[in-house]
Amino acid sequence: MKFIDEFRDRELVQDLSRRLGRLAAGPATVMEVCGTHTMAAARFGLKSLLPPGVRLISGPGCPVCVTAQADLDAFLALGRTPDTVLATFGDMVRVPGSRTSLERERARGAVVRVVYSPLDAVDLAREQPGKTVVFFGVGFETTMPATAVAIKSAAALNLDNFLVLCVHKTMPAAIRALLAGGELKISGLLLPGHVTTIIGAAAYDFIPRDFGVPGAVAGFEPVDMLLALEAILRQLQEGAARIDNVYPRAVQAQPNPRAAALLDEVFAPSDAEWRGLGVIPGSGVTIREAYARFDARVRFPEVWQELPPAPPSACRCGEVLRGALRPSQCPQFDKSCNPTQPLGPCMVSSEGACAAAYRYERR
Amino acid sequence: MKTKHILLSHGAGGREMGRLIEQVFLARYGAGGKPGDDSAVLTLGGGQLAFTTDSFVVAPLFFPGGDIGRLAVAGTVNDLLTAAARPLALSASFILEEGLEIETLMAIAGSMRDTAAECGVAIVTGDTKVVPKGAADQVFITTSGVGEVVRPGVSGAAARPGDRVILTGTVGDHGAAVMLARENLLQGGGLASDVAPLTDLVLTLLAEGIEVHAMRDPTRGGIAASLNEIARQSGVAITIEESRVPVQPGVAAACEALGLDVFQVANEGKMLIFVAPGDAARALEVVRSRRYGQDASLIGEVLPGPPRRVQVRTLLGTTRLLDPPAGELLPRIC
C-alpha cells in the first residue's frame, strides 16, 4: 500500500460523499486549521462533495500567512545588515512586508537563500564563516523539531554565525482563542494531522470539554478528509462532542516523546503575535537561555525598535485567517489582489486560503 | 507594490513573464505575426519561413538525461515544429565565463552535434563571447532557428471548440530531474530529463494528413502555462481529464514530496497537439508509433466557453481550475 492511490480512489470518495449526505442533519460550519488541508480541499474539489448546508472554511492554519507583519519586516530589515544571508523556506519569498519583500530585496542585492530544511541554513553558515546566516523559523509544531535540531547542530559545531529568527507558533492556544472569541459559530474542527503527530490528539481534549465542539484529526488525502468530516457529522448527529482520531496510521493520543523532549530542551513557551488574531498567550516559543547565542532577537534587538509603523493596507487577510471572511467575499479578491500582485500573504502563500480559492475555485 | 526591478518570477514562464513581455517588448516593437506563438512566421517567396529564438541558462549544465547543449538544439527545433515547420538550420551563440574548462565546452558542442544529427538539422552559424569570472554562470547559450512551414495556419490562436488535446508523453520529467540534481534532493530518485527533438513525430503526423490546429511544447510553467496560453490566444475553454495525464510514478512522488504541481513543471521533449475531433484517434495512433510518443494520451478537449478558462476534472470526478502559474516556480531549468 502506498497510501496515495488508495486514499484518492474515485469510488471510495463518491461513496463517502453519499454517506455524508445521509448523515447531515442541517447546516454546519466545519473549520480546518491547516494550510495543507486548505490546499488539498481546493485541489481535489472536495467542497463540491459536501452535502448542502455543510460548509468547510479555513482558519489560521497557514504558518506563512499568520506570521505577523512586524516579524516579517524585522527579518527583511536584517537583510540590509552587511554580510548577512537570509535563509528562508521558499513560500515566504513573495510575501509582501510593509514596504518590500524578500523577492524584491534579493533583486536589490540582498542575499536571500531558499532552503528546504533549517539544516541547510546551518550548512550555509558553516560554508561562509564571514557571513551571518539568519534562518526565518516559520511553522507550527511539525516544523519546530527540525529547527531545534538545527540549533543543536550549530551548537555542536560551535558556530558563531548562525541565528534563528524564531516565529514558530503552536496550534492549541490559537484554537482556544478562536473558539473563545465567538466571532463565528463553528460546528466542528478538522484538526491538522501532521501537527498532531508531534503533540498527540489529547492536546485537543479542551475543545469538546470547554467548548462542546466536535473535532476529528485528519490526514491529507481526499479519503482522509472525507472520513474526518464524516466523523464530525456523526458526532453532530449524536449530539456528542469528542476528538476522533481519523489518522491512526500517523497519529496517537500522546505526544511523540522524542520530539517533545527535543522541543522542551531548545524552546520555551511564550506569547506570540498572529496576523489576524493579535497576541495570543502561550501560542509561540522562544529560544531558551542555553541557546540564546543563536537567537536573532538577542543578537539584533534594535531591529524591532527601528521598525517604522506599517502603512494602512486594504488587505483583509486577518479576517480570512479568523474564518470571518471567505476569500471570494473580500472586495480585493481577483481585483486589486491576485497571485501576481498580492496585497497580503493569504494570496501568495502556497497554503493560503485566498491563493487556493484563486487557483482552483475562481468562477 | 509596483515592480521596478526584474525579479526571478519574470523568467518563470508564468503570468509575470507574460506581462513583462507585453509591457516592455510588445508595447515597443510589437510581434510581427501572431503574438504568443513560439515561432514567428514570415513570407518568403512562394512559401513561409518559421523563425524562432531561445536562450538556455540551465543549471547544472549536465543533468540526468541531458545537458545544456542537447537542450539548446531540441528546444529550438521543437519551437519551430509548433509552427508546423520542418527545421532547417540553427545558429548557436555562446557567452562563456572566464575559467570554464574547454573540455566542458567540447562535451556540450558534441552533444549539440549528436542532437542535431538525430533530427536532421544543421548548426550553421554562431558567435562566441567571453566575460570575466563572475559575470556569467559558466555557459549561456542563445540559439535561433529557421524552418520551412509545411502546413500553414497552425498556431496557438487556431484551436477550435471540439478539438481534442493530445499530450505526447509523461509530464514533469525535465523540471523534476533538474530540480533534484541541482538541489541534491531525494537521493536515488532515478529521474531523468525527457529532453528530445520531436521532428520525426511531428512531421510524420503532418505527412499523414492529420488536421492539426495548434501545437505547443510545454516547457517552463508546464502544461498549465501552455494550455492557458492557447486558451487565451484562441479565446476558447479547455477541459483536461487528470486521470489521462501520464506521469511517471517517480516524478509524481518527487512533486508530492516537494509540494509541486506536476502540471506546472517543465517538459523538454513533449508536445501538446490540438487536432480536429475526427482525426483524434488516428493522430494518437500515429504519435504512439513514433519515437518519444509511445506514452501519448488523449487528455482533453476544447470547449466553446467560458473563454480562456482551463479546468481539470480531478481523479475524484470533481472539477477545479487549472490556473496559469505565478511566482518563480523552478528557476534555471531551461
The pLDDT tens digits of the residues spanning B264-299 come to 999 999 999 999 999 999 999 999 999 999 999 999
Judging by DSSP bridges, how do beta strands B272-275 and B212-216 pair with one another? antiparallel
Structural domain contains residue B3: no
How many contacts (CB atoms, under 8 Å) link A and B? 78
Dump pLDDT digits (tens) for B52-108: 999 999 989 999 999 999 999 999 999 999 999 999 999 999 999 999 999 999 999
Domain termination site, one of B116, B149, B182: B149
- At B332, the pLDDT band (50, 70, 90 cuts) reads low
Structural domain contains residue B41: yes
- pLDDT on residue B183: 80
- At B305, the pLDDT band (50, 70, 90 cuts) reads confident
Q: How far is CA B194 from CA B66, B197, B221, B261, B292, in A?
A: 8, 10, 15, 18, 9
Instruction: Mark whether B210 and B296 lie in a shared domain.
Output: yes
Distance between CA atoms of residues B281 and B226, nearest Å: 22
Distance between CA atoms of residues B152 and A128, nearest Å: 57
CB distance B271 to B78 below 8 Å = yes
Q: Inter-chain contact B320–A358, Cβ cutoff 8 Å?
A: no
CB proximity list for A50: less than 8 A, separation 6 or greater: A17, A20, A56, A229
- At A305, the pLDDT band (50, 70, 90 cuts) reads confident
Dump pLDDT digits (tens) for A67-117: 999 999 999 999 999 999 999 998 899 999 999 999 999 999 999 999 989
Q: What are phi and psi of A69, to 5 degrees?
A: -55, -40
CB distance B79 to B217 below 8 Å = yes
Q: Which residues pair with residue B215 across a beta bridge?
A: B273
Angle at B305 between CA B300 and CA B310, to 5 degrees: 45
Judging by DSSP bridges, how do beta strands B62-63 and B66-67 pair with one another? antiparallel
Q: What cell does B22 get?
A: 507585453
Instruction: Mark whether B140 and B167 lie in a shared domain.
Output: no
- Return mean pLDDT, chain B: 93
Dump pLDDT digits (tens) for A29-49: 999 999 999 999 999 999 999
State the smallest CA–CA distance between residue A244 and chain B in angstroms: 25
CA-wise closest residue to B190 among B251, B134, B261: B251
Q: What is the sign of the dihedral through the CA atoms of A290, A292, A293 and A294?
A: positive
Contacts of A341 in chain B (CB under 8 A): 1
- Return mean pLDDT, chain A: 94
CB proximity list for B83: less than 8 A, separation 6 or greater: B37, B38, B39, B41, B50, B52, B147, B149, B154, B155
Instruction: Mark whether B185 and B139 lie in a shared domain.
Output: no
Judging by DSSP bridges, how do beta strands A54-58 and A28-32 pair with one another? parallel
CB distance A43 to A254 below 8 Å = no
What is the DSSP secondary-structure string of A228-290? Answer: HHHHHHHHHHHT---EEE--TTT--SS--HHHHHHHHHHEEEEEEEETTTEEEEEEEEEE-GG
Q: Inter-chain contact B319–A341, Cβ cutoff 8 Å?
A: no
Q: Inter-chain contact B316–A358, Cβ cutoff 8 Å?
A: no
Dump pLDDT digits (tens) for A332-349: 999 999 988 899 999 998
- pLDDT on residue B176: 93
- pLDDT on residue B233: 95
Q: Inter-chain contact A45–B315, Cβ cutoff 8 Å?
A: no
CB distance A345 to A64 below 8 Å = yes
CA-wise closest residue to A306 among A72, A77, A69, A67: A77
Q: Inter-chain contact B319–A45, Cβ cutoff 8 Å?
A: yes
Q: Inter-chain contact B316–A116, Cβ cutoff 8 Å?
A: no
Q: Inter-chain contact B318–A93, Cβ cutoff 8 Å?
A: no
Mutate to test the interface with B, among A360, A361, A362 (most CBs of B within 10 A): A360
Instruction: Mark whether B208 and B279 lie in a shared domain.
Output: yes
For chain B, the straight-line distance linking the first and the last C-alpha, in angstroms and rounded, comes to 29
Structural domain contains residue B331: no
Instruction: Mark whether B94 and B243 lie in a shared domain.
Output: no
CB distance A321 to A65 below 8 Å = yes
CB distance B70 to B121 below 8 Å = no
The residue in chain B having the minimum alpha-carbon distance to the alpha carbon of residue A222 is B316
- At B15, the pLDDT band (50, 70, 90 cuts) reads confident
Q: What cell does A230 get?
A: 464524516
Mutate to test the interface with B, among A94, A98, A343 (most CBs of B within 10 A): A94
Instruction: Mark whether B145 and B177 lie in a shared domain.
Output: no
CB proximity list for B191: less than 8 A, separation 6 or greater: B64, B173, B176, B177, B180, B248, B250, B251, B254
Contacts of B6 in chain A (CB under 8 A): 107
Q: The whole model's pTM is what? A: 0.88
Total domains, chain B: 2
Structural domain contains residue B329: no
CB distance A41 to A49 below 8 Å = no
Domain termination site, one of B149, B175, B202: B149
Q: Inter-chain contact A107–B326, Cβ cutoff 8 Å?
A: no
- pLDDT on residue B34: 55
The residue in chain B having the minimum alpha-carbon distance to the alpha carbon of residue A103 is B7
Q: Inter-chain contact B6–A106, Cβ cutoff 8 Å?
A: no
Q: Inter-chain contact A106–B316, Cβ cutoff 8 Å?
A: no
Instruction: Mark whether B215 and B137 lie in a shared domain.
Output: no
Contacts of B261 in chain A (CB under 8 A): 43
Question: Which three-class secondary structure state does DSSP give residue A39?
Answer: helix
Domain termination site, one of B115, B149, B183: B149
CB distance A217 to A245 below 8 Å = yes
CATH number, domain with residue B55: 3.30.1330.10
Question: Which three-class secondary structure state does DSSP give residue A350?
Answer: coil
Distance between CA atoms of residues B94 and B109, nearest Å: 11
CA-wise closest residue to A274 among A359, A177, A206: A177
Dump pLDDT digits (tens) for B186-225: 765 689 999 999 999 999 999 999 999 999 999 999 999 9
In chain A, what are the domains?
1-317 (3.40.50.11740), 318-361 (no CATH)
The residue in chain A having the minimum alpha-carbon distance to the alpha carbon of residue B19 is A340
Contacts of B1 in chain A (CB under 8 A): 96, 100-101, 104, 341
What is the DSSP secondary-structure string of A47-96? Answer: GGGSPTTEEEEE-S--HHHHB-HHHHHHHHHHTTSTTEEEEE-GGGTT--
Place of cell 555557459: B139
Instruction: Mark whether B223 and B302 lie in a shared domain.
Output: yes
Structural domain contains residue B263: yes
pLDDT at A2 over 70: no
- At A56, the pLDDT band (50, 70, 90 cuts) reads very high
pLDDT at B33 over 70: no
- pLDDT on residue B3: 79
The residue in chain B having the minimum alpha-carbon distance to the alpha carbon of residue A350 is B259
Instruction: Mark whether B84 and B175 lie in a shared domain.
Output: no
Instruction: Mark whether B113 and B134 lie in a shared domain.
Output: yes
- At B333, the pLDDT band (50, 70, 90 cuts) reads low
Structural domain contains residue B18: yes
State the smallest CA–CA distance between residue B16 and chain A in angstroms: 6
Distance between CA atoms of residues B68 and B141, nearest Å: 8
Q: Inter-chain contact B7–A222, Cβ cutoff 8 Å?
A: no
CB distance B170 to B248 below 8 Å = yes
Angle at A171 between CA A170 and CA A173, to 5 degrees: 85
Contacts of B16 in chain A (CB under 8 A): 340
Q: Inter-chain contact B8–A106, Cβ cutoff 8 Å?
A: yes
- At A5, the pLDDT band (50, 70, 90 cuts) reads confident
Q: What cell does B155 get?
A: 498556431
Contacts of B328 in chain A (CB under 8 A): 93-94, 103
- pLDDT on residue A221: 92
Question: Which three-class secondary structure state does DSSP give residue A124?
Answer: helix
Give the domain extent around B267.
156-321
Q: Inter-chain contact A44–B320, Cβ cutoff 8 Å?
A: yes
Q: Three-state SS across chain B?
A: CCCCCCCHHHHCCCHHHHHHHHHHHHHHHCCCCCCCCCCEEEEECCEEEEEEEEEECCCCCEECCEEHHHHHHHHHHHHHHCCCEEEEEEEEEEEEECCCCHHHHHHHHHHHHHHHHHHCCEEEEEEEEEECCCCCCCEEEEEEEEEEECCCCCCHHHCCCCCEEEECCCCCHHHHHHHHHHHCCCCCCCCCCCCCCCHHHHHHHHHCCCCEEEEECCCCCHHHHHHHHHHHHHCCEEEEEHHHCCCCHHHHHHHHHHCCCHHHCCCCCCCEEEECHHHHHHHHHHHHCCCCCCCCEEEEEEECCCCCCEEEECCCCCEEECCCCCCCCCCCCC
Contacts of A107 in chain B (CB under 8 A): 5-8
CATH number, domain with residue B243: 3.90.650.10
Q: Which of B7, B323, B327 sits opposite A107 (nearest CB)?
A: B7
B238, HSE (Cβ side, Cα atoms, 13 Å): 34
- pLDDT on residue A363: 74
Instruction: Mark whether B167 and B222 lie in a shared domain.
Output: yes
Distance between CA atoms of residues A266 and A206, nearest Å: 26
Element (DSSP H or E) covering residue A114? strand A111-114
Structural domain contains residue B104: yes
Angle at B167 between CA B164 and CA B171, to 5 degrees: 145
Contacts of A359 in chain B (CB under 8 A): 321, 323
Instruction: Mark whether B116 and B217 lie in a shared domain.
Output: no
- pLDDT on residue B330: 58
CB distance A227 to A218 below 8 Å = yes
What interface predicted TM-score (ipTM) does this complex get?
0.82
CB proximity list for A269: less than 8 A, separation 6 or greater: A170, A282, A284, A285
Distance between CA atoms of residues A363 and A358, nearest Å: 9
Q: Inter-chain contact A44–B326, Cβ cutoff 8 Å?
A: no
Distance between CA atoms of residues A266 and A148, nearest Å: 6
Contacts of A361 in chain B (CB under 8 A): 320-321
Structural domain contains residue B332: no
The residue in chain B having the minimum alpha-carbon distance to the alpha carbon of residue A96 is B1
